[in-house]
Amino acid sequence: MIGTGRNFSICSIRVFPSMNRLERHGKTYALEPKVMDVLCCLASRAPQVLSRDQIIDQVWGGQYGRDESLTRAISVLRRTFKQAGLGEPIIKTVSKRGYYLAFEADFGQEVFETKPSRMLIVNKKSYTVDLQYQWRTAS
């Protein structure tokens, strides 16, 4: 599975593939696993243009309905980036060629580390506090 790799960032968005989540300015955006796989596929080769067939083969393999699924996944990613407040499109289309990530993904030395969530009990009801993230340098 593609989306279980390393965490990375694109512009000011932090990407957590194993959790199918994006984060920007403290807000979290959930993605479906295959949508995250498409993002990871594009990020791993950015800024190279990938054909629809290359993306489909890497993400879906031989499954049925994958062409429409790719179109939908690209649409969901564009909508999510827009909701996250990025004015400039991150995923661009090259007519008759494919798609590419307009910004290189940063898989560099910095990695994200999650702090454990905490369970709060208020009036006999339990609540889980969202995970907080901090940067640390990989050794």
Question: Which residue ranges make up each domain of the chain?
Answer: 2-107
Across 74-98, average pLDDT: 92
The rounded distance, in Å, linking the Cα atoms of 76 and 31 is: 8
Asked whether the beta carbons of 113 and 134 are under 8 A apart, the reply is yes
The rounded distance, in Å, linking the Cα atoms of 108 and 116 is: 24
Could you tell me the pTM of the whole model? Answer: 0.75
- Indicate whether 72 pLDDT > 70: yes
- Confidence at residue 108, expressed as pLDDT on a 0 to 100 scale: 65
Q: CATH number for the 2-107 domain, one of 1.20.1090.10, 3.40.1450.10, 3.20.20.70, 1.10.10.10?
A: 1.10.10.10
Residue 55's closest CA among 107, 16, 66, 65? 66
pLDDT in tens, 101-115: 998 888 865 545 444
